[in-house]
Amino acid sequence: MIVFDDLRFPERVYLSGEDCFFMMLESNLNRHGTGNNILRIVLHYDECIAAETLLKQLNNSPIVHWMCNIQLINGGLFQRPYWQYRNSRNTITIREHQIPRDAGVPHEVLNSSISIGENSYIACDFIRHNEGSCVLILSWHHILMDGRGAGMFLRHLSGQEPLNEHSLTSFFPKKSQRLSFYNYIRNMYEVKAFIQQSSKGKIASFFSANIHNREGSFSWYSRIFTVEETCKIDGNAKQNGASLGATNFLIAASSTAVYRYLQKRGIQGAIWIPVPYDGRKRGGFGPVITNQISFLFYRLEHDDFQTMKTTVQCINKQFTDQLKIGMPKKYNHFLDMMRHIPLRLYRFLATKESKGAVSSFLFSSAGENNWDMKNLMDQPFRNIDIIPPYTFPPGITVSFFRFEGKLKMNLVVSDLLFSRDESHQLLEEIATIISSTKS
């Protein structure tokens, strides 16, 4: 095992406002007794490789070492929480499984969790298939890093971004800009007014506060499109008014499918979704640790679903309006201020207007262009999956990313809210919408 005493890891890494937001969500999950706050990357290999080799290479990574040797310090009242590095010589371990290839990823692996307060915030599962192939699953708590951070983390593990004394600072966040107390308060009222206006009235959600059986697990469904199908989807996005990439088109399609399903169940109200917005500079590297995202907020009423072009135009306008007033940065400052508030009060303030519901559903395409590597730790892999956290409420998340020119879609849903057949129908409904040329 490599000793990392020569690297000067920061003694404290303060959690970002976004990290504390996910801590609030974790508090909400614990209250409801279902879901988790774990991000997972699933790597598929055609040939079975030695688990011992992977384990050695993982433990040779300074960033993996750091993740295995930190403790979360909540701080005192109205003080910011932070990661404290304590070199306890902890290492990552691998949980091994043996199953047939067509069995997929074991349910117990997908529903395993990493709780705040554990010794390590990263876990590894290694699945051997009877047919000779294998799967590597890396899981970590969402408060460690976001989707783009995960892509940079894999680039580091693949050798593209080595970590040493000179590059160490790029892996960790720089000191955040602080506003004066007056500007914090003014910013807080401005953001609060915007969120209240955006989320006012009834929000349609599958979540119900009357759900009493909270022991249900989550399920993961995925769909991959060919290069040709992906090109057609990108063309459909442009045809329907998404001129700055396909993301707004994918949001519109997902919202349309969810809205139709809500109507089938007789659930009324507007669609309201917070969508991650990456605050890093394009093309740059770092930081890897901490979440560096803000959010854009979209509200869609019944009349906004007349056609796909109508829905995309509505999202485009809200996107442009929020960027014009600098809402992503203002929301970042708001989240930074919320770091000083105890979690129970944070959760109450965040959910009191919506009676416990966080949104109609969750959507993410964060980091979708950061998966351009084809090997990990000198081992070529065939395919990759990215599984978002199982957040409850709302109990449904749709996410997209691209790998080797192919669009991939994930759907994670609570088994308390959706049957297996319903989940497949919803997945296919979204696929049909984005593949259609109608506008």
Show Cβ contacts of residue 127 under 8 Å, excluding neighbours closer than 6 positions: 96, 97, 98, 99, 105, 106, 109, 134, 135, 136, 137
Run of H or E residues at 32 = helix 17-32
Per-residue pLDDT at 225? 96
Mean pLDDT of the chain: 87
Per-residue pLDDT at 373? 77
Per-residue pLDDT at 83? 93
In this structure, what CATH number is given to the domain that contains residue 160?
3.30.559.10
- Report, as an integer, the average pLDDT of 343-350: 67
Burial label for 237, CB within 10 Å (0-12, 13-18, 19+), is buried
**Residue with structure tokens 């969750």?**
362
Same domain? 23 vs 126:
yes
Quick: pLDDT tens for 412-433: 999 989 999 999 999 999 999 9
Q: Which of 81, 77, 147 is nearest to 117 (CA)?
A: 81
Domain-terminating residue out of 171, 196, 231 = 171
Tell whether the model's pLDDT for residue 179 goes beyond 90.
Answer: no
Per-residue pLDDT at 263? 95
Q: How far is CA 284 from CA 63, 84, 184, 200, in A?
A: 18, 26, 28, 37
Same domain? 76 vs 203:
no
Same domain? 229 vs 302:
yes
Per-residue pLDDT at 108? 86
Quick check: is 359 in a domain? yes
Quick check: is 4 in a domain? no
- Per DSSP, what are the bridge partners of residue 83? 13, 72
- Whether the CB-CB separation of 351 and 358 falls below 8 Å is answered with yes
The domain of 338 spans 181-366+391-435
Quick check: is 374 in a domain? no
- For residue 253, name the pLDDT band (cuts at 50, 70, 90): very high
Number of domains in the chain: 2
- Report, as an integer, the average pLDDT of 51-71: 90
- Per DSSP, what are the bridge partners of residue 272? 299
Quick: pLDDT tens for 204-240: 998 865 555 556 688 999 999 999 999 999 999 999 9
Per-residue pLDDT at 8? 85
Same domain? 266 vs 396:
yes
In this structure, what CATH number is given to the domain that contains residue 308?
3.30.559.30
Per-residue pLDDT at 213? 52
Quick check: is 378 in a domain? no
Quick check: is 303 in a domain? yes
Per-residue pLDDT at 177? 73
Q: Which of 275, 274, 246, 271 is nearest to 258 (CA)?
A: 271
Domain-terminating residue out of 153, 171, 189 = 171
Same domain? 288 vs 213:
yes
Same domain? 140 vs 199:
no
- Whether the CB-CB separation of 103 and 110 falls below 8 Å is answered with no
- For residue 354, name the pLDDT band (cuts at 50, 70, 90): low
Same domain? 242 vs 192:
yes
Quick check: is 376 in a domain? no
Same domain? 148 vs 222:
no
Same domain? 238 vs 334:
yes
Per-residue pLDDT at 3? 63
Per-residue pLDDT at 1? 54
Per-residue pLDDT at 20? 86
Quick check: is 380 in a domain? no
- Report, as an integer, the average pLDDT of 146-168: 83
Tell whether the model's pLDDT for residue 101 goes beyond 80.
Answer: yes
Cα dihedral: 246, 251, 254, 255 (round 10)? -150
Same domain? 167 vs 187:
no
Same domain? 196 vs 320:
yes
Tell whether the model's pLDDT for residue 409 goes beyond 90.
Answer: yes
More confident residue, 393 or 324: 324
Domain-terminating residue out of 145, 171, 197 = 171
Same domain? 152 vs 195:
no
The whole-model pTM stands at 0.92
Tell whether the model's pLDDT for residue 346 goes beyond 90.
Answer: no
For the beta carbon of residue 131, count every other beta carbon within 10 angstroms: 11
- Report, as an integer, the average pLDDT of 38-58: 90
Quick check: is 127 in a domain? yes
Per-residue pLDDT at 407? 94
Share of the chain above pLDDT 70, in %: 88
Per-residue pLDDT at 24? 80
| DSSP codes, 157-224 | HTTSS---TTTHHHHSPPPPP---HHHHHHHHHHHHHHHHHHT-SPBP-S--TT-------EEEEEEE
Per-residue pLDDT at 228? 97
More confident residue, 72 or 366: 72
Q: Sign of the C-alpha dihedral, residues 422, 423, 424, 429? A: positive
Quick: pLDDT tens for 366-386: 555 556 678 887 788 999 999
